[in-house]
């Protein structure tokens, strides 16, 4: 079958790498893709949110399945666009419906879903410009630090954690009245602060049953020791060594099962990934957010650990046969280290020629922000490439990733030298 994958990051290169290994995959198209996907699939230069252009492509190229990488097309309703179109309605889209994607698109919607289905989450209330003074009073009833979350999509920047009450009140006004995050902060969720270790749980569902995918931990801050600004993610490790069977059972029974049952009870069509952000407070997992897609760079360590055929797995999702699917996982550890443009996550330059790719051995290079320019691979974004390796344990895998990172060069290249530091 011909398949279309939407997106252009390291996540999408990892999906593409795995999907083309399937005998079920004839031609894989990636829109818009990057220099890495161009080497193994057919890049199409259209945006992942240009639904009309996607429709034309799907019909012209006889595409029989669409896999959605990032959240934007999902939140904009690509699943419903296909379902409501006479010519597209029988083509499966791997990703939730628009209402399902609202779990990531609106923090308030996610909180209401969590409360309604008795899934453990931090206490909260939400406010608008009209109720800003009530929000300021609500902050006075909480203990610091104060957690303020822009309701809508804000590219991972919409969450503020503030120690000082007066500062929290002033930031709340900035968000609600002065639109600090644009329309995304026209509503703000104020949440109880949870003190614990963060972890993520990745689930794939066909709306009825589900499979829990390997655990992974990412490193979000730009600086060593988890310092400095937040990024999309600077590296990842799978599995997470401290997640044991007891904790996984709590996560499954208290969080995953009621989430999938909640989709059914609320009539939310959901055939795709659920990425559940958790904080482990004294061995009690509590949900801090839902994402409706896989993580990036978590995908670059989770997908390489799937032994099963990914296209077959997606077909099981589309056909609601996930309960019959035998998901096989590679026992080895996988790690990835992101190389990024100097300056990222603030201003950075693009178009730097990347050298040394031919010297990489024993690792998989997943491209993120790259493009081809006159035969050269050049940087084209903040996060440039993820260098993934396997090992019998995460240290062995990390040694390989770092050995190969050191083979690669471009002007002002940066990376974190301490991925996995907190796991030893």
- Footprint on this chain of ligand GLY (rule: CB under 6 A): 218, 232-233, 291, 295-296, 298
233 binds, among ligand GLY, ligand AMP, none (CB under 5 to 8 A by kind): ligand GLY
111 vs 293, beta carbon nearer ligand GLY: 293
159 binds, among ligand GLY, ligand AMP, none (CB under 5 to 8 A by kind): ligand AMP
95 binds, among ligand GLY, ligand AMP, none (CB under 5 to 8 A by kind): none
Contact track, ligand AMP, 170-199, x by CB under 6 A = ---------------------x-xx---x-
Minimum CB–partner distance for residue 298 and ligand GLY (Å): 6
271 vs 383, beta carbon nearer ligand GLY: 383
194 vs 311, beta carbon nearer ligand AMP: 194
36 vs 232, beta carbon nearer ligand GLY: 232
38 vs 222, beta carbon nearer ligand AMP: 222
DSSP E strand stretches across 55-192: 63-68, 93-96, 124-128, 146-150, 159-162, 187-191
SS3 assignment, position 247: helix
Which residues on adjacent β-strands are paired with residue 32?
A: 7
* Cβ(276)–Cβ(258) below 8 Å: no
Task: Count CA within 13 A, CB hemisphere, residue 74.
Answer: 33
* Cβ(201)–Cβ(194) below 8 Å: no
Helix H or strand E encompassing 56: helix 51-60
216 binds, among ligand AMP, ligand GLY, none (CB under 5 to 8 A by kind): none
Minimum CB–partner distance for residue 398 and ligand AMP (Å): 22
Neighbour tally for 253: CB within 10 Å = 10
295 binds, among ligand GLY, ligand AMP, none (CB under 5 to 8 A by kind): ligand GLY
58 vs 288, beta carbon nearer ligand AMP: 288
Is it true that the peptide bond before 247 is cis, omega within 30 degrees of 0?
no
9 vs 233, beta carbon nearer ligand AMP: 233
193 binds, among ligand GLY, ligand AMP, none (CB under 5 to 8 A by kind): ligand AMP
Minimum CB–partner distance for residue 132 and ligand AMP (Å): 20
82 vs 127, beta carbon nearer ligand AMP: 127
Which of positions 240-279 make contact with ligand AMP (CB under 6 A)? Answer: 277
Torsion of CA 407, 21, 69, 62, to 10 degrees: 130
298 binds, among ligand AMP, ligand GLY, none (CB under 5 to 8 A by kind): ligand GLY
Burial 104-135 (b: 16+ CB within 10 A, else e): bbbbbbbbebbeebebbbbebbbbebebbeeb
Minimum CB–partner distance for residue 251 and ligand GLY (Å): 18
Residue 147, interface with ligand AMP (CB under 6 A)?
yes
Minimum CB–partner distance for residue 101 and ligand AMP (Å): 15
295 vs 345, beta carbon nearer ligand GLY: 295
Minimum CB–partner distance for residue 117 and ligand GLY (Å): 22
Minimum CB–partner distance for residue 323 and ligand AMP (Å): 30
CA distances from 195 to 1, 161, 246, 369 (A): 47, 12, 20, 34
Minimum CB–partner distance for residue 410 and ligand AMP (Å): 29
Q: Token pair for residue 178? A: 């002065």
SS3 assignment, position 26: coil
* Cβ(185)–Cβ(127) below 8 Å: no
207 vs 232, beta carbon nearer ligand AMP: 232
Label the pairing between strands 370-373 and 376-379: antiparallel
- Terminal alpha carbon distance of the chain: 44
Which residues on adjacent β-strands are paired with residue 28?
A: 3
Q: What is the DSSP string of 260-310?
A: HHHHHHTT--EEEEEEEEEEEETTEEEEEEEESS--TTTHHHHGGGB-S-H
* Cβ(350)–Cβ(379) below 8 Å: yes
Q: Which residue carries 């795709």 as its tokens?
A: 272
Number of residues that bind ligand AMP (CB under 6 A): 12
Q: Which of 41, 63, 93, 122 binds ligand AMP (CB under 6 A)?
A: 122
Q: Residues in the site for ligand AMP, rule: CB under 6 A?
A: 122, 147, 149, 159, 161, 191, 193-194, 198, 277, 288-289
């Amino acid at each position: 079958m011909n398949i279309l994958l939407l997106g252009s990051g390291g996540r999408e290169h990892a999906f593409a790498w795995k999907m083309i290994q399937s005998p079920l995959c004839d031609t894989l198209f990636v829109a818009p893709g990057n220099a890495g996907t161009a080497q193994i699939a057919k890049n199409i230069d259209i945006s992942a949110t240009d639904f009309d252009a996607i429709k034309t492509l799907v019909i012209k190229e006889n595409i029989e399945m669409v896999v959605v990488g990032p959240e934007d097309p999902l939140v904009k309703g690509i699943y419903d666009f296909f379902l409501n179109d006479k010519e597209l309605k029988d083509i499966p889209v791997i990703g939730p419906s628009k209402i399902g994607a609202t779990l990531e698109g609106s923090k308030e919607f996610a909180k209401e879903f969590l409360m309604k289905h008795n899934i453990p989450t931090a206490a909260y209330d939400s406010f608008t410009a009209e109720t800003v003074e009530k929000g300021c009073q609500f902050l006075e009833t909480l203990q610091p630090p104060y957690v303020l979350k822009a309701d809508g999509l804000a590219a991972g920047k919409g969450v503020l954690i503030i120690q000082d009450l007066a500062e929290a009140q002033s930031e709340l006004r900035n968000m609600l009245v002065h639109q600090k995050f644009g329309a995304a902060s026209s509503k703000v969720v104020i949440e109880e602060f949870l003190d614990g270790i963060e972890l993520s749980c990745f689930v794939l569902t066909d709306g009825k049953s589900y499979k829990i995918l390997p655990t992974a931990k990412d490193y979000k801050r730009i600086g060593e020791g988890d310092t400095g600004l937040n990024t999309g993610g600077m590296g990842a490790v799978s599995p997470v060594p401290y997640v044991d069977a007891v904790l996984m059972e709590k996560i499954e029974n208290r969080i995953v099962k009621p989430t999938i049952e909640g989709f059914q009870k609320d009539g939310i069509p959901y055939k795709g990934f659920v990425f559940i952000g958790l904080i482990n407070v004294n061995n009690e997992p509590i949900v801090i957010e839902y994402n409706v897609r896989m993580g990036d760079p978590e995908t670059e360590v989770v997908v390489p650990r799937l032994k099963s055929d990914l296209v077959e797995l997606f077909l099981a999702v589309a056909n609601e046969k996930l309960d019959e699917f035998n998901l096989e996982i590679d026992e080895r550890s996988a790690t990835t280290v992101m190389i990024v443009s100097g300056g990222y996550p603030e201003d950075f330059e693009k178009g730097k020629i990347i050298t040394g790719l031919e010297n990489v051995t024993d690792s998989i290079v997943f491209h993120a922000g790259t493009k081809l320019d006159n035969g050269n691979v050049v940087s084209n974004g903040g996060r440039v490439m993820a260098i993934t390796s396997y090992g019998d344990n995460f240290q062995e895998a990390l040694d390989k990733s770092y050995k190969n990172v050191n083979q690669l060069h471009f002007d002002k290249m940066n990376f974190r030298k301490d991925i996995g530091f907190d796991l030893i």
